[in-house]
Structure 1
Amino acid sequence: MIAKLLYSLRWKLIALFIFSIVLSVLSLVGVFFVLLALRELGINLPTRVAQGLADMFTIPVLLVVAGSFFFTVYIFVLTRRRILYMVRITEAVQRIANGRFDERIPVRYNDEMGELAANLNKMSEQLKTSIEEERRAERTKTELITNVSHDLRTPLTSITGYLGLIEQDRYRDEVELRHYVHIAFEKSKRLHVLIDDLFEYTRLSGGGLSLRKTRLDLVEMIGQLAAQFQYEMGRAGMEIRLHFPDRNVMIEADGDKLARVFDNLLANAVHYGKDGVYVDVHVRSAGGEAVAEIVNYGEPIPPQDLPYIFDRFYRVEKSRSNDTGGSGLGLAIAKQIVELHGGTIGVASDRSRTVFEVRLPASPASVRRAPGATEVS
């Protein structure tokens, strides 16, 4: 506290003021001795000028005028760097006000002026970040409207087209009629899924979704979800294998919301991992976290697509087209739900396998070790 007070601008200005006075006094003494020295050398003109001024204004007045002159000179010289620094700060503020948020002021002092420069730099950085986020949000909104319009229009066009054929009796027989109705029905279901996902994503993005957390067993929940996929995997010629080294992994979570996350991950594993035959599900406790991994051995996700896999409406075009993919919001919704629970979700993919990993805070003393890994096939 004392050190900060001593380095404050107030004390520095007081020190400069006193130092200028001392230098002014020393300068007057120096002038007096110079005049004496010149007089000893026989140079009397400066002495006669000084004597004349003293007779005209009196010595005290002459000393005050000369002292004020020296004081002004020293104050100007000693504060010049400070004044230039203030001018630099003022110009930087004007440039920031004009929208140049990349402007930075060098912090040269450890007093209030230095703090002012540092705070202005921080303010400029925050303004730049806020404006970039606002622009990004505007672009996101525009892209969202564009993507939603496109994804809604595609099934609507099909539904309208096939219902139009039915309305105009442009079908050969009842078999073709039922075919048109089936296509329209499937497209309407896809439209329903898209609207539901869009509504859910909007609620999550807007912070309008509250979690109803209860204590639940992650091992039991994922085991039940995996059982629901047995029939679908059997039809696809696939097999699901569960690896549960811990008998129980307890967490505090909204079971319905979290079930949607793992339902989406399992559905993706079945949908895009058919070439790999197996889907492995691992649940364990590690470092105070509940860790769940969904592994499939199908076609890998290209490296250039991995950073964007959790973006809304993002699809890996080669394998996730509108015909085979979902709404394009499933993983974005999953990411937001996991983050609402204070967890993280990530993906890694190479030629051998694709792994989606979810990490959630585990409840204290929540783990009981199992005698061995559990497998369901």
Structure 2
Amino acid sequence: MTVRKIADGTYGLDHKIEVRRRSLFGPMAANVNSLVDRLHHALEEERKAEQTKNELITNVSHDLRTPLTSVLGYLGLIEQDRYRDEVELRHYVQIAYEKSKRLNVLINDLFEYTRMRYDSAELKLKNFNLTEMLGQMLVQFHLPLQEAGMTSKLDAKETSVMVKGDAAKLVRVFENLIANAMSYGKEGKKLLITVHTEEKAAVVEVINYGEPIPTTDMPYIFDRFYRVDKSRTQWSGGSGLGLAIAKSIVLKHGGTISVASDIEQTAFRVTLPLIK
């Protein structure tokens, strides 16, 4: 009777059948309860997935529409000859160009996040020296760091830390972490990257000494479109996808990524499996 009422909707999916140990149908009732639990969990996961998809669409639409509106607006002024002189014309063109670059960053980040999130991107695996790669990256970031008023240092316990992975994808991870440090930690004036090994893992920490991440923001720091500094406009902040992309790439390599932040420093910690 109870099973029939669950089936026809009289009882909800959270309804449990009384399990009588001495009853012939006791094991069956327990199995039905277990099945109901799994079905309820599956429906809840589906609901969350649908909500996540809707939020993604809403955020993407908003973040893409704003720069596109600006591009169309300034190009419209140029098309209608609504500028005083060549100086103002060049100013409009420059603004449209900058908004277009912003739009390009958003689209590329969204594409990369979607590919990594839904496992559609194959990793091109090869053996490489993680310490060497990070050293080269700091050389490439020397000028941007200097312009941000920051110094950098690579503290490597070992000159050769060999891992197997997609070097281009992992470069993207550390580019995002360094860019994040430049955006939110430049008041601390320095960036430190440490590399060492722990058992079977390579461990990299990207550390800045700026303002700490608020405790309330810590659980959401790797969520897509999440920005710690809500006062930043979308022009001065990133796409909001950088850390989400980094997490997807690291997880796909079988590694982990986490963050710790206090008044002294903010450290993003990445672990990757060493070559067996």
Q: TM-score, normalised by structure 2?
A: 0.93
Alignment of 1:235-314 (within 5 A): 235-314=147-226
Q: State the secondary structure of the residue aligned to 2:164.
A: strand
> What secondary structure is seen at the aligned counterpart in 2 of 1:324?
coil
CA separation in 2, counterparts of 1:350 and 1:256?
31
For the residues of structure 1 that align with 2:79 and 2:255, how far apart are their CA atoms?
A: 52
Provide structure 2 residue ranges, at least 5 long, that are not aligned to the other structure: none
Cα distance in structure 2, aligned partners of 1:322 and 1:213: 35
How far off is 1:322 after superposition?
0.4
Are the equivalent residues in 2 in contact too, given 1:96–1:124 (CA < 8 A)?
A: no
Structure 1 residue 328 and structure 2 residue 245: aligned?
no
Residue 6 of structure 2 is aligned with which of 95, 98, 104? 95
CA distance in 2: counterparts of 1:110 and 1:357, whole angstroms: 54
CA offsets, 1:113-151, max 9 Å, x none?
444333223222211111111111111111111111111
Higher helix share: 1
Q: 1:306, 1:97 → 2: CA distance?
A: 44
Of 89, 93, 102 in structure 2, the residue corresponding to residue 181 of structure 1 is: 93
User: 1:260, 1:112 → 2: CA distance?
Assistant: 60
Residue 260 of structure 2 is matched in structure 1 by 348
Q: Deviations over 1:25-83 (max 9, x none)?
A: xxxxxxxxxxxxxxxxxxxxxxxxxxxxxxxxxxxxxxxxxxxxxxxxxxxxxxxxxxx
8 Å contact from structure 1 (residues 214, 255) kept in 2 = yes
Deviation at 1:328, TM superposition (A): 1.2
Q: CA deviation at 1:308?
A: 0.9
In the TM superposition, what are the counterparts of 1:10-89 in structure 2 within 5 Å?
none
| Identity of matched residues, % | 56
Q: TM-score, normalised by structure 1?
A: 0.69
- Asked if residue 126 in structure 1 is aligned to residue 126 in structure 2, the reply is no
In the other structure, the counterpart of 1:357 is 269
Measured at CA, do residues 172 and 222 of structure 1 come closer, stay the same or move farther in structure 2, by a change above 3 Å?
same
The 3-state SS of whatever aligns with 2:217 is helix
| 2:2–2:17 contact (8 Å) kept in structure 1 | no
**Counterpart Cα distance in 1 of 2:243 and 2:232:** 13
In the other structure, the counterpart of 1:67 is: none
Could you list the runs of 5+ residues in structure 1 that have no partner in the other structure? 1-89, 365-377
Counterpart amino acid of residue 202 in structure 1: T
Q: Describe the shift of the 1:180–1:247 C-alpha distance in structure 2 as closer, same or farther (beyond 3 A).
A: same
SS at match of 1:363: coil
- The 2-side partners of 1:101 and 1:282 are apart by 51
Structure having greater relative contact order (Cα 8 Å, sep ≥ 6): 2
Give the deviation of 1:178 after TM superposition. Answer: 1.1
RMSD between aligned alpha carbons?
A: 1.9
User: In the alignment, does 2:226 pair up with 1:226?
Assistant: no
Judge conservation of contact 1:92–1:104 (CA < 8 Å) in 2. no
1:162 correspondence with 2:74: yes
